[in-house]
Chains A and B, each alone.
Chain A
């Protein structure tokens, strides 16, 4: 939630953050259009399958089961023609760094049987601590890998439609899709603001100047959001919106979907039994 860094990189860091998100969205659009195995499946099967695998990987206390789910995900990555490099950059290294940082002190703080002493500092490393840290890391990596499989192989619109199948209220699906659509508009707008400001910047800014800039950008964004919401409202009115929301639901199960569902059900049963 926070990080220390020099004041010089404040704009650049935020621009990089935004760029990363926009890149991620572009990448997801491209990969979900590939002719891989998961891309061909019905989104409802994928959502259900991802939930089964994540809950299975998280709930088991057996690391072999978590490992098996991870290997299964690796197989799916290959069959869905997704890039391992993309996974390494976007998921595995990020989770390793973030969760690793959180899990590392646990190997020293967890009481238990000492298996090693850290050279020079002589801090004891306990067997229980190593197990705890390793388990946390394995679970987080596996769950993130499965979640990214769903994200990278399913177009957002399909994902939204499949949420209706899981009884999510129509009004929420509508707001979700609207939020997603205008989110990118706001992100592009923010990136333009920051680029424009950054190209006119000479030297360093004091923290108070940075705060002023951030507050003014967010104030303009707020103003733009409210103005946009009025425009969208008028557009809805002009198209005859009466408060009734309808969305197209045209998914149909094919043979491969039934087969995938059977495989996933088997995996779910196995996970429950192994638990």
Chain B
């Protein structure tokens, strides 16, 4: 994933530098703000460790080996901003001292591996680990998956940068000036290797090192989990479960719900009695059923049962809403709201039961 000089155009390199620059700036400002002498050698040593991790051929199932970057473990131990600096420094030493990874492509390499890698690893780690205790096995899974997904997203970014080159920079007769493969080749070529080998290497390293830290010095995990308890049975008073990412995910899914409109026709087997009467839809049903035509006469019970309950919002849209997109979003809000109300009611009932029991024992 270390892009050498000559693979990306100077314009792309400049854009990637510009993309990485604000992140570096904020990271340095944050480092200066919280600068304690302890952090400087820690970043330096973990940066050196990231370099050594890159040197290892991690044995993988099937007799192959892969190289990890260490973005998972560095993010867990340092947080995303300091991890971003540490990986950038390891990449700078590789480029300036060992000639590995281009000097002009330094911005792109840092953007992919240090910036994107660290933030994706952090997001996945926090999302999966939630408020689990520091000793929880969930943290191992979270770090492993964080590393795996981070290296793959970083590789995806690199492959997009490669794939854009022949589209944007070519001679008048079509010869590519930089990386010669279009997105249709560059993405699968990069991703196959990373989804399998390099991703697994990162997964193994991130998971096993977090497991090791849990056994030796658990407090190191507190940097990215400040409110977590040490052990599962300990409960920190006032530490609320952070549900913000889940609420955000729910909101995004609600907004995306009109995507269902993109699907043409009905799902197989979800036909209404009206559909069987419509000649156009009958043709579609036959085509989707290996050219077996639906029965001419609809069974009487089918029609009767379909009239037992009339939905207040048929076809995911209240009758007064004209726009199907708005209807989808309103339906998703209404549906999710009903489910949440039901959950709150059940939790209130169980809480009520517990309170009554405590009062009884007191």
Contacts and interface: CB of A to CB of B under 8 A. Distances in A.
Contact of A4 (B64, B85, B213): B64
Contacts of B98: 21, 24, 151
A225 B198 CA distance: 24
A155 to B, nearest CB: 11
A226 B148 CA distance: 24
Given A136-B180, A148-B99, A179-B93, A171 B28 contact: yes
B175 interface: yes
Nearest to A232: B41
Contacts of A218: 49, 52-53, 56, 205, 208-209
A12 B317 CA distance: 66
B39 to A, nearest CB: 9
Contact of A7 (B35, B59, B93, B104): B59
Contact of A171 (B32, B48, B66, B209): B32
The B contact surface, by secondary structure, is helix
Contacts of B176: 106, 110, 128, 132, 135-136
B177 A135 contact: yes
B37 A6 contact: no
Contacts of B55: 14, 17-18, 21, 187, 190
Given A128-B175, A131-B175, A222 B47 contact: no
A48 interface: no
A225 B45 contact: yes
Interface string B245-275: 0000000000000000000000000000000
Contacts of B48: 179, 182-183, 185-186, 225
A67 interface: no
B281 interface: no
Given A2-B66, A143-B103, A222 B89 contact: no
Contacts of B179: 136
A219 B211 CA distance: 9
Contacts of B67: 1-2
A174 to B, nearest CB: 7
A139 B92 CA distance: 21
B209 A215 contact: yes
B181 A106 contact: yes
B8 to A, nearest CB: 8
A13 interface: yes
Contact of A243 (B7, B37, B73, B85): B37
Contacts of B213: 222
Contact of A190 (B38, B52, B58, B208): B52
B204 A211 contact: yes
A169 B175 contact: no
Given A136-B179, A229-B44, A112 B174 contact: yes
A175 B40 contact: yes
A215 B208 contact: yes
Contacts, number: 270
A172 B28 contact: yes
B242 interface: no
B226 interface: no
A96 interface: no
Given A1-B198, A17-B57, A171-B32, A50 B175 contact: no
B193 A58 contact: no
Contact of A226 (B4, B45, B90, B173): B45
B6 A58 contact: yes
Given A57-B6, A186-B52, A243-B35, 6 more contacts: A2-B67, A159-B96, A175-B44, A180-B97, A219-B212, A233-B41
Interface of A: 1-7, 10, 13-14, 17-18, 21, 24-25, 28, 50-51, 54-55, 57-59, 61, 90-91, 95, 98-99, 103, 105-106, 109-113, 127-129, 131-133, 135-136, 138-140, 142-144, 147-148, 150-151, 156, 159, 169, 171-172, 174-176, 178-180, 182-183, 185-187, 190, 207, 210-211, 214-215, 218-219, 221-223, 225-226, 228-230, 232-233, 236-237, 241, 243
12 contacts: A6-B63, A95-B4, A111-B174, A131-B175, A144-B5, A171-B32, A179-B44, A183-B51, A214-B204, A226-B45, A229-B44, A243-B37
